[in-house]
């Protein structure tokens, strides 16, 4: 007999839950069909329409070109699917219950955006140099000359001009706590620098010119004023950033 905990989990996770596996297969299938169709058309034209006797070995030798073209059409199709399937999600603290439209929409958004990010902008299949462009195409507000290593829920991200997030940094628009889903926007001001391997939780706002030191954790809903240096886990202010861009450490309080 099922206990109360298992019954409650099934109630929250199964009733009205979107079939994410079906969506995953559907998105990949649609992108694959879109990618292969131009190759089929071109091959047909070369073999059947153009009145030129093209040697079969020449057509086969072009296989690498077909692969590259198909791959990038596939990538662009995934980005388009990820953007077109985005559903509205409101910031808030919700019970992890799929009957709630915000929880359900967040799950659906995650499938489309994750496919696009990992096939185009991030590892294992993508090119990190394209990460910032893909984030922008998936709904992130990207300023001029921005760079982000890894951002979850791009439609909940805002980057000011010159904002930089180092390698291994995780910027997240959601978090889990005690069976609840927390959703919030992550906002970086102008010229903000996030050190490598740091983690920013949802609801974080960082003011212009501020710096988060390497391997730091910025908790949920933390508001960091402009021109400050924060570090640690959880992050705390440890210095200030002067007008000329230099760092001045705060004096440690004596016990």
DSSP 218-246: E-TT-EE-SSEEEEETTEEEEEEE-TTS-
Q: What is the pLDDT of residue 15?
A: 64
Could you read off the pLDDT of 11-30 as tens digits, one per residue? 666 666 678 888 999 999 99
pLDDT 10s digits, 221-251: 999 999 999 999 999 999 999 988 888 888 7
Mean pLDDT of all residues in 134-141: 92
Q: Which fold has domain 20-249?
A: UDP N-Acetylglucosamine Acyltransferase; domain 1 (2.160.10)
For residue 1, what pLDDT is reported?
46
Dihedral of the alpha carbons of 104, 106, 112, 117, in degrees to the nearest 10: -160
pLDDT in tens, 159-191: 999 999 988 899 999 998 888 899 999 999 999
Q: 95, 128, 202: which is closest to 158 by C-alpha?
A: 202
Report the predicted TM-score, pTM, of the whole model to 2 decimal places: 0.83
Q: Which residue has the higher pLDDT, 145 or 45?
A: 145
pLDDT of residue 222: 95
Average pLDDT of the chain, as a whole number: 87
Q: Name the band, by pLDDT with cuts 50, 70 and 90, for residue 255.
A: low
Q: Where are the domains of the chain?
A: 20-249
CA distance 77 to 183: 27
Percent of the chain whose predicted confidence (pLDDT) is above 90? 57
Measured distance CA(2)–CA(255) in Å, rounded? 54
The pLDDT assigned to 154 comes to: 94
Measured CA to CA in angstroms, residue 25 lies from 116, 195, 222 at distances of 14, 36, 38
Task: Give mean pLDDT, residues 107-135.
Answer: 85
Peptide bond into 29 cis (omega under 30): no
**pLDDT reported for residue 251:** 78
Q: Average pLDDT, stretch 138-147?
A: 92
SS3 248: strand
Span 59-106, pLDDT tens digits: 778 788 888 899 999 999 999 999 999 999 999 999 888 888 999 999
Q: What is the pLDDT of residue 14?
A: 63
């Amino acid at each position: 007999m099922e206990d109360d905990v298992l019954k409650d989990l099934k109630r929250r996770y199964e009733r009205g839950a979107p079939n994410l596996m079906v969506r995953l297969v559907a998105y990949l299938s649609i992108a694959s069909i879109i990618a292969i169709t131009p190759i089929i058309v071109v091959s047909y034209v070369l073999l059947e329409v153009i009145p030129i006797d093209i040697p079969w070995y020449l057509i086969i030798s072009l296989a690498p070109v077909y692969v590259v073209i198909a791959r990038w059409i596939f990538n662009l199709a995934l980005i388009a699917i990820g953007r077109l399937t985005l559903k509205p999600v409101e910031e808030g603290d919700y019970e992890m219950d799929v009957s709630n439209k915000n929880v359900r929409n967040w799950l659906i958004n995650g499938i489309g955006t994750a496919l696009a990010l990992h096939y185009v902008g991030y590892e294992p299949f993508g090119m990190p140099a394209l990460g910032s462009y893909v984030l922008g195409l998936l709904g992130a507000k990207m300023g001029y000359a921005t760079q982000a290593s890894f951002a979850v829920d791009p439609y909940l991200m805002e980057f000011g001009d010159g904002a930089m997030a180092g390698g291994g940094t995780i910027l997240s628009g959601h978090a889990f706590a005690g069976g609840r889903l927390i959703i919030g926007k992550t906002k970086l001001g102008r010229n903000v620098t996030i050190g490598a391997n740091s983690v920013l939780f949802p609801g974080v706002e960082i003011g212009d010119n501020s710096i988060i030191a390497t391997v730091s954790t910025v908790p949920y809903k933390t508001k960091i004023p402009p021109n400050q240096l924060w570090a640690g886990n959880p992050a705390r202010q440890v210095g200030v950033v002067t007008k000329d861009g230099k760092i001045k450490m705060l004096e440690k309080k004596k016990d």
